[in-house]
Amino acid sequence: MQNVLDSDSEDELPPGWEEKSTEDGNVYFVNTYTKKTQWTHPHTGCKKVIPKDLPFGWSKTVDETSKTIYVNRETGNKTYVDPRLAFAKEEKKHVHDFRQRFDGSSTAYQVLHGVDLSGKYALITGSNTGIGYETAKSLARHGCNILFANRNMEATDKAIKEIVKETNASEENLKSIYLDLASLESVKQCAQAVETVFSDHLDMLILNAGVFGLPYTETQDKLETTFQVNHLSHMYFALLLERLLKRGSRVVFVSSESHRFANLTNIFTNQNLAMTKDQYSAMMAYNNSKLYNVITAKMLSEKWKAKGICVNSLHPGNMVSTNLSKSWWLYRLAFFLVRPFTKSLQQAAATTVYAATASELEGVTGLYFNNCFYCEESALARDKEIAQAVYDMSLRLIEDISKT
């Protein structure tokens, strides 16, 4: 893998060469001077493939001479050039062979350009506002069926209506379900209810909800709130929904670069992943919860790899202006002051959408993404012994609470 933006010059064809497509998604090259054809790019020597389906909004027909012609249903434009060729990519020799197509300035709309998500099913937590809302709106614009899993159902219904209005998505494809991440019982009931909505399968599970900057509070399960809402309940939710995840399904944990500043001092000595009241720091509780997100994603990626379920984590953006900052006036002030220098919500949602839908990430699992590309996690996140301990302690905690 190369951490550089894809260069168009590498893919430029020499004079006299044309790119053609086959019905089954392969690309071949024709030398118009010699009439020679070949499967490999005449410049790079690589084989290329294209999606088997037409891009969103395109259809195929024939003209009066029975020659294939492609029609853009929105504009009415017609062309003899297969629009799938715009999405041609080099055939992978290894699952992790992919080049960077987007960066920190890219938006979710750009990431999804030409992508058809009709018939796909996604569940998104924390989807009635902020990055989760922008993620849902972007996916809905491209035909995805979405289940909004949130605690505030009134705000969720409003969000769905706004998305329908802005995107012309069918309201039948956008459904809501109650989920209170401060209660493992609610998580369990929600997971059971999900099966009545998406009885067959789930293509995308996007674990986006989170809290930030809270004073020390405990959930009804007697756990520190930031720890349970950001980490434990999402881990439990993913485990409960495993039976709906099939080969090719993607699970996305929305973490943060703040995971690099986590501090696990005394965590294993005390056998307590959550911060106690006497040691509590709102920022450190958040940092630790985001580290647990990355660790959980890596652990589940290993456990589910043989099933073809891909699990990745990501950082959406620095100091993105969302409702996460509403908890304390000082955080609200900090977010307000830096807002001119932060990402927009559309930019912040881009990495989530990329991890959930990008075709080049097929089979890619266990990675951490930032600015629509993979990057190395913190040393704590890469420590296999720590990861196993965090996962095991979390699992025991879930089991103990579930028994009561």
CA distance 222 to 200: 35
Say whether 68 sits in a helix, a strand or coil. Answer: strand
Instruction: Per-residue pLDDT tens, the chain, 404 aa: give them.
Output: 444 444 445 578 899 999 999 888 889 899 999 988 988 888 888 888 888 888 888 999 999 888 999 999 888 899 999 999 888 877 766 667 677 788 888 899 899 988 999 999 999 999 999 999 999 999 999 999 999 999 999 999 999 999 999 998 999 999 999 999 999 999 999 999 999 888 889 999 999 999 998 999 999 999 999 999 999 999 999 999 999 999 999 999 999 999 999 999 888 878 899 999 999 999 999 999 999 999 999 999 999 999 999 999 999 975 454 454 454 555 554 544 444 446 788 888 999 999 999 989 999 999 999 999 999 999 999 999 999 999 999 999 999 999 87
Give the residues across from 176 on adjacent strands: 148
Phi, psi for residue 64 in degrees, rounded to 5: -65, -15
Task: Count other Cβ atoms within 10 Å, centred on residue 237.
Answer: 24
CA distance 143 to 351: 19
Q: What is the pLDDT of residues 187-205, one digit of tens each?
A: 999 999 999 888 889 999 9
CA 219 to chain centre: 27
CA distance 404 to 396: 13
- Yes or no: say if 43 and 49 are a contact pair by the CB < 8 Å rule: no
Identify the active-site residue in 70, 121, 236, 286: 286
Catalytic residue list contains 236: no
Buried b or exposed e, range 165-201, using 16+ CB within 10 angstroms: eebebeeebbbbbebbbbbbebbbebbeebeeebeee
Residue among 2, 234, 179, 178 at smallest CA distance from 100:
2
CA distance 37 to 84: 19
**How many angstroms separate the most distant Cα atoms in the chain?**
80
- Can you give the C-alpha Rg of the chain in angstroms? 23
- Yes or no: say if 150 and 125 are a contact pair by the CB < 8 Å rule: yes
Phi, psi for residue 129 in degrees, rounded to 5: -160, 165
- Check residue 404 and give its pLDDT: 76
Judge if pTM exceeds 0.85: no
CA distance 217 to 303: 33
Q: What is the pLDDT of residues 62-93, one digit of tens each?
A: 998 889 999 998 888 999 999 998 888 777 66
H runs (alpha helix) in 128-281: 130-141, 153-167, 184-197, 225-227, 233-240
- Check residue 319 and give its pLDDT: 47
CA distance 264 to 252: 24
- Residue 89 is which amino acid? K
**Strand boundaries in 54-112, DSSP class E:** 58-62, 68-72, 78-79, 89-90, 99-100
- Check residue 10 and give its pLDDT: 58
CA distance 234 to 295: 12
Q: What is the pLDDT of residues 215-242, one digit of tens each?
A: 999 999 999 999 999 999 999 999 999 9
Buried b or exposed e, range 381-404, using 16+ CB within 10 angstroms: beeeebbebbbebbeebbeebeee
- Check residue 269 and give its pLDDT: 79
Task: Count other Cβ atoms within 10 Å, centred on residue 7.
Answer: 10
Say whether 27 sits in a helix, a strand or coil. Answer: strand
